[in-house]
A and B are shown apart, each in its own frame.
Chain A
Amino acid sequence: MAQPTLDVFQVVADPSRRQMLNLLTKDSMTINALAENFDMSRPAVSKHIKILYTAGFISIQDIGRERYCILRQDGFKELQQWIDHFDKFWLTKLKSLETILNNKVK
């Protein structure tokens, strides 16, 4: 990737961007349609879209006169890594349980 990679963590930390992604999981949307769901200025919406685009969460396609935002897999692949971390959450817990069980007073 030529573009500097954004921290996925920061990208989805923002509630508006999470909501945009949520909306786009249902269907691809034009930037205008997306913007209608938010109480913010159009430049603010564009800024969020640019961040999502740069981070690989969405692609933008020109269809007719409209620009469509479409969900992409790349961002989610990185998120898969976070799920893997949750996997580790349980592993850490299961190991803790072992330590406690082995050390408890009989």
Chain B
Amino acid sequence: MTTEIKHQWFYNQSPEEVWEYLTNAELLAKWLMDNDFKPVDGHEFQFRTKPMTNFGFDGIIYCKVLEIVPQEKLSYTWKGGPGDGTMTLDTVVSWTLHKKDNGTELHLLHTGFKEQNAMIFSIMDNGWLSNMKEIADFLNA
């Protein structure tokens, strides 16, 4: 069973510009989700999306900044649950930026999936996917 997700993506912009979109709450909301992120070590924040009570997800992703190295690395916890305080999903998202001649290589590592939360989480994801499609359509319009 997969317990981590890895992706990398190349952007034509400088690490400074990409970093802004990872750490400025308003810019972050444009491509990810509404949030109250602050680029401060230990800062606790949330991403908000549609709740899916049937699937044990209250629509809030609870996060805490674990590591922040300006323009190089950012990691935070990524937790979720039904809203009663239990976290059925308890994972970590890490971003690393690599400066290239003509842009930035962004690496994403999403770790900590366990079998029992994988099922709840992966189901929740299906709802997100449809959200994402709406957002993508909105962006492309």
Q: Which residues of A does B touch, CB under 8 Å?
A: 9, 12-13, 15, 18, 21-22, 25, 76, 79-102
Contact = CB atoms under 8 A, between A and B. Distances in A.
A84 B125 CA distance: 10
A15 to B, nearest CB: 7
A56 B21 CA distance: 43
Contacts, number: 105
The 4 lowest CB-CB distance pairs between A and B, nearest first, are A82-B122, A86-B125, A94-B9, A96-B31
9 contacts: A9-B123, A12-B119, A25-B115, A80-B1, A80-B2, A83-B118, A92-B133, A97-B31, A101-B18
Contacts of B136: 92, 95-96
Q: Is chain A's binding surface mostly helix, strand, loop or mixed?
A: helix
Given A89-B132, A99-B139, A100-B30, A94 B7 contact: yes
B140 A82 contact: no
A93 B122 contact: no
Nearest to A75: B119
A37 B112 CA distance: 27
B88 to A, nearest CB: 9
Contact of A91 (B7, B56, B120): B7
Residues of B in contact with A, size category: 35 or more
B12 interface: yes
B5 A12 contact: no
Contacts of B92: none
B116 interface: yes
B45 interface: no
A55 B71 CA distance: 47
Given A21-B119, A89-B128, A100-B139, A83 B13 contact: no
Interface string B107-135: 01010010110111111011011001101
Given A86-B110, A98-B9, 15 more contacts: A12-B123, A13-B54, A76-B119, A83-B118, A84-B2, A87-B5, A87-B7, A89-B125, A89-B128, A89-B129, A91-B7, A92-B132, A93-B132, A96-B135, A97-B106
B9 A86 contact: no
B80 to A, nearest CB: 12
Nearest to B18: A101
